[in-house]
Structure formats: C-alpha cells, structure tokens
Amino acid sequence: MQRICLFPGTFDPVTLGHTDIINRALPLFDRIVVGIGVNSSKSPMFSAEQRMQWFQEIYKDEPKVESVTFEGLTVDYCKTIGAKFILRGIRFVSDFEYEKSIADANRTMDKDIETVFLTGEPKYTSVASTIVRDILKNGGNASPFLPEAVIASLHH
C-alpha cells in the first residue's frame, strides 16, 4: 500500500518554509499531495491556479509531489485521494498547540488518518505567508523568503 500524504494549506504565497517541509517529507512518503485549500471566506492574494502552478514548477522533476485544489474538510479530501497521513509544518510552540487541536479533531472524525508534524528549519521559522504578503503589498523585497519559481513569476 502506498504511503500517501496530504499537505494542506493556503500557500498564499508558497514560501521556502513550505518547500522545506515538503523536501524533508519526501523520504517518508510515496506520494505527497499538496492540497491548496479553497476557502470562500478568505480572499487570497494569489489565485489557487497560480499557487498550484508554483508547486508544479518547483517540483517538476519530483514525481512524488503533485498539487491540487480542494474544498471542504481535510479528512474528507484525504479519503478521496487515499491519503492516510496529513503533513503539517511547525515553526513555534504556538503552532503546535493550534495544529494539535486540529489533528485531534481530525482523528475524532477519522481514526485511520494520522497527522505528521515536521518542525521547520530554524532559518525558515520567521517565514510566514502573512508576513510575505505584507512585504509584497508594501513594495518590499520578499525574495529571501520565496522559491525561485515564485520570485520569477512576480517579476512578470
């Protein structure tokens, strides 16, 4: 049986923190599905299609990684794709408390789906999409926080 994992998030935009978690999860799973959550109550800075394209470009030479968009509950989407694992990145203790409460709720809804936490590399702990969006909105240089594919698309 394939070890399929869903890495859900908004990824608005994709940061080096996100790719760090994916890269370190590669040896753990046979397939990593990056699930870009579409939430009608949020108005993202970048379209879901743009965020998917970034992951496709970044991982064009890595067949184990694919990107999709999904709506609804994460555990329901896991069932749709046959994922038994949810991947989440942790930067700080506060992230863990929040993520653990979500993992507990997911486990209550489906005891067969396990959440796996990876801690981010220390050099990426300050990288949050919210901060990067602020930098971009105010005309600053966010490139130290972004993968090359994202930087290239912002200059168009």
> Where in the sequence numbering do the catalytic residues fall?
18, 42, 91, 129
Q: Are 72 and 78 in contact (CB under 8 A)?
A: no
Only one residue has tokens 């602020």, namely 134
| Gap between the Cα atoms of 107 and 138, Å rounded | 40
Please provide residue 64's backbone torsions phi and psi, each rounded to the nearest 5 degrees: -80, -10
| Gap between the Cα atoms of 127 and 97, Å rounded | 19
Q: Are 148 and 14 in contact (CB under 8 A)?
A: no
